[in-house]
Amino acid sequence: MARLLVFLLLFALPAQAERVVLGLSQDEVAITANFTGSEILIFGAVRRETPMPSDSTLGVIVTVSGPSLPVTVRRKDRRLGIWVNTDVVEVDAAPSFYAVATSGPLEEVLTHVEDLRRSVSIPRAIRSVGADISGTENFTEALIRIRSASDNYQLLEGAVDVEEQTLFRTEVVLPANLTEGDYSTRIFLTRNGKVIDEYQTVIPVNKVGLERWLYELSRDNAPVYGILALIIAIASGWAASAAFALLRR
């Protein structure tokens, strides 16, 4: 009897009407010695099991988040003619890279409650729970401003193209100063600002080739790495001096 009730309950639940089917232009990003950044094309479609709703417009949000790490944010004030650190806030975790691409204005495709629940917007992706300094939001805003200037934080409103409320695509440009690790990619489908489906995958970002060898050498054998760096510096200086002397002749 119990099994029959469970079966009837599951049968009575409505099937999820719209789901994400995702595609990526590349499954991983390789950081080489001459790495200058990368561009990832994120595309997909909406799979429907019921007719498309006619009373609302489909919204699509794509987020790409790098590894989250603690960050120390300092505030400088002028004291006796000298700029000194006055206040310090320890941010518990902030993504090293974070991009939010939307099919329209963020406040229109996602409600405030959904943002609180899923941490979609850039400020919500930063956690600063333990800070006890008044005006902590100013430190968070400063962190966002600094990282936005270097393209490590990106708000791309209207950058997701949606065709016939079924196909969608967007491009996210990764800067050259990427932090190695797994980059979480999330896609949200929304209607009336509420999330109706979510899909998540991971894009690995790793150093390869000479960059990987130098990185591992610096971690595993620091003395050898230091000697090698010194030899390279001396050789570079000697080569520059020789080239300059040759030009003067």
Residue 7 lies in a domain: no
128 with 216, same domain: the answer is no
Q: Where does the pLDDT of residue 3 fall: very low under 50, low under 70, confident under 90, or very high at 90 and above?
A: very low
Residue 2 lies in a domain: no
Residue 5 lies in a domain: no
183 with 214, same domain: the answer is no
Q: Evaluate if residue 235 carries a pLDDT over 60.
A: yes
DSSP string, 24-64: ES-S-EEE-TT---EEEEEEEEEEESSPPPSSS-EEEEEEE
Positive or negative: CA dihedral 232, 177, 175, 38: positive
Q: Evaluate if residue 8 carries a pLDDT over 60.
A: no
147 with 190, same domain: the answer is yes
Calculate mean pLDDT across residues 107-122: 94
Residue 48 lies in a domain: yes
Which of 14-23, 66-75, 200-209, 215-224 is the least confident region?
A: 215-224
CATH number at residue 183: 2.60.40.3880
165 with 223, same domain: the answer is no
Residue 175 lies in a domain: yes
pLDDT at site 239: 72
Which of 10-24, 26-40, 193-207 is the least confident region?
A: 10-24
**Higher pLDDT among residues 107 and 131, named by residue:** 107
129 with 181, same domain: the answer is yes
60 with 177, same domain: the answer is yes
Residue type present at position 202: V
Calculate mean pLDDT across residues 97-117: 95
Residue 136 lies in a domain: yes
110 with 56, same domain: the answer is yes
216 is in which domain, residue-wise?
A: 208-249
104 with 225, same domain: the answer is no
Q: In terms of DSSP bridges, do strands 29-31 and 194-207 run parallel, antiparallel, or are they unpaired?
A: parallel
Calculate mean pLDDT across residues 5-14: 40
187 with 90, same domain: the answer is yes
Reading the block at residue 12, the tokens are 């009575």
Calculate mean pLDDT across residues 197-226: 68
Q: Evaluate if residue 87 carries a pLDDT over 90.
A: no
Q: Evaluate if residue 84 carries a pLDDT over 90.
A: no
Question: Dihedrals φ, ψ of 76, to 5°?
Answer: -105, 140
Reading the block at residue 67, the tokens are 């590894």
122 with 244, same domain: the answer is no
196 with 220, same domain: the answer is no
Residue 37 lies in a domain: yes
Answering whether pTM is above 0.85, one says: no
Residue 8 lies in a domain: no
pLDDT at site 218: 58
Give the chain's domain count: 2
Q: Where does the pLDDT of residue 7 fall: very low under 50, low under 70, confident under 90, or very high at 90 and above?
A: very low
Calculate mean pLDDT across residues 209-224: 57
Reading the block at residue 73, the tokens are 């944010």
Angle among Cα 88, 93, 98 to the nearest 5 degrees reads 115
Q: Where does the pLDDT of residue 149 fall: very low under 50, low under 70, confident under 90, or very high at 90 and above?
A: very high
37 with 95, same domain: the answer is yes
